[in-house]
């Protein structure tokens, strides 16, 4: 089956975008999916979170976009079977300036990923917290966008600008792009504010919002400092269980195939159950 490509994006920082990219990929790989994470954020947080030092020499996304290096040279193995990474490094911070003079500059990432379309079930792109040229490249390459929304005050602020950008990309660059999901992050059921934000987001995006809520979690915050995903760092924590459930819900929405989705879940459960739990390795 052809690879499904998703960009995880929100121009607002601190919403759990990279945390979601890394941990969703880890649990998809744990469900026996073939997954590639593309770190397109110059901060390289996804790269670091998977235990890879972005300062060490090696082919990165910058080399692929700017120097036309084959993307296969940048694909890096991780500690998870089935999960590979195209790493970022600090050079990527200057990429937008260099990309600006290129022909078809919005399509550089899309074209770079084409040789990998039959190698993975899912390609997940971790976009930077901006609506610049790198993010536009992610949206142009993707079949769908996943939007993390923090369960805090002004959560919906700025989403209108992001939705406008999505509409423009769909109209001009990538007609297949859709809002694949809205993910509520940093939820705290004990507060009225969090409960109200959840209700507001579900009202605005009734079909797109995932059932799974990602809780505010110290463990989720600690894991990247150890170069680990939450699956490796604290697999029994509330954050880990939430990302297990999200991965199952994600597979239910976007199955690789009937056979692959069923085989990856325990007890013969179909992938369509949002509450299903993805098995841990």
* pLDDT value, residue 257: 58
Output the pLDDT for position 270.
32
What tens digit of pLDDT does each residue of 149-195 get? 999 888 888 888 899 999 999 999 999 999 999 999 999 988 898 99
Residue 160: its pLDDT value, please? 87
Tell me, yes or no, whether 255 lies in a domain: no
**What pLDDT does 131 receive?**
92
Say which CATH number the domain at 93 has: 3.40.50.300
The SS3 call for residue 269 is coil
- Sheet architecture: strand order including 122-126: 76-77, 83-86, 35-39, 122-126, 4-8, 144-150, 178-187, 209-215
pLDDT along the chain (281 residues), means of 10: 91 93 98 97 96 92 96 95 96 93 95 96 96 96 97 84 95 97 93 91 95 96 95 96 98 77 36 33 31
Q: Please give the structure tokens belonging to residue 41.
A: 């954020």
Cα-Cα-Cα-Cα dihedral sign, residues 114, 45, 210, 149 = negative
Q: Is residue 208 part of a domain?
A: no
Residue 61 lies in a domain: yes
pLDDT for the residue 1: 53
pLDDT value of residue 35: 98
Confidence (pLDDT) at 275: 33
Which range of residues forms the domain containing residue 139?
4-181
**pLDDT for position 31:** 97
Helix or strand holding residue 125 (H, E): strand 122-126
User: Is 280 a member of any domain?
Assistant: no
Phi and psi at residue 144, to the nearest 5°: -150, 160
Instruction: Tell me how far CA of residue 30 lies from CA of 35, 219, 256, 262, in angstroms.
Output: 10, 19, 14, 13
- Please state the domain count of the chain: 1
What tokens appear for 259 in the block? 């056979």
129 lies in a domain? Answer: yes
Query: What CA–CA distance (Å, rounded) separates 85 from 109?
Result: 15
Q: Degrees (nearest 5) of the Cα angle 47, 113, 175?
A: 115
Decide: 194 and 151 in contact? Cβ < 8 Å.
Answer: yes
pLDDT at 155: 81
Task: Please state the separation of Cα 248 from the chain's center in Å.
Answer: 15
Burial zone of 278 (CB within 10 Å; 0-12 exposed, 13-18 middle, 19+ buried): buried
Q: According to DSSP H, which parts of the chain are helical? A: 17-30, 45-49, 61-66, 71-74, 95-99, 108-113, 133-141, 159-172, 192-204, 218-222, 230-233, 238-253, 258-263
For the four alpha carbons of 158, 161, 162 and 163, in that order, the dihedral sign comes to positive
In the block, which residue shows the tokens 């995932």?
210
DSSP 114: G
Please indicate, yes or no, if residue 116 is contained in any of the structural domains.
yes
């Amino acid at each position: 089956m052809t690879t499904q490509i998703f960009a995880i994006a929100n121009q607002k920082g601190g919403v759990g975008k990279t945390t979601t990219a890394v941990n969703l990929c880890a649990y998809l790989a744990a469900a026996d999916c073939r997954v590639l994470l593309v770190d397109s954020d110059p901060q390289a947080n996804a790269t670091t979170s998977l235990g890879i030092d972005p300062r060490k020499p090696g082919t990165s996304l910058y080399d692929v976009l700017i120097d036309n290096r084959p993307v296969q040279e940048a694909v890096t193995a991780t500690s998870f079977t089935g999960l590979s990474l195209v790493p970022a490094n600090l050079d990527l911070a200057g990429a937008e300036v260099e990309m600006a003079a290129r022909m078809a500059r919005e399509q550089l990432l899309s074209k770079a990923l084409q040789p990998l379309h039959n190698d993975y079930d899912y390609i997940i792109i971790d976009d930077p917290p901006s609506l610049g040229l790198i993010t536009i490249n992610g949206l142009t390459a993707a079949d769908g966008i996943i939007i993390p929304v923090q369960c805090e005050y002004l959560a919906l602020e700025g989403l209108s600008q992001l939705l406008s950008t999505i509409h423009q990309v769909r109209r001009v660059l990538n007609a297949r792009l859709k809002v694949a999901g809205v993910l509520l992050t940093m939820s705290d059921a004990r507060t009225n504010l969090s409960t109200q934000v959840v209700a507001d987001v579900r009202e605005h995006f009734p079909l797109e919002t995932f059932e799974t809520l990602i809780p505010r979690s110290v463990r989720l915050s600690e894991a990247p400092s150890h170069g680990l995903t939450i699956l490796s760092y604290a697999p029994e924590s509330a954050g880990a269980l939430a990302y297990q459930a999200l991965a199952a819900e994600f597979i239910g929405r976007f199955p690789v195939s009937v056979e692959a989705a069923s085989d990856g879940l325990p007890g013969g459960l179909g992938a369509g159950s949002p509450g299903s739990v993805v098995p841990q390795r």
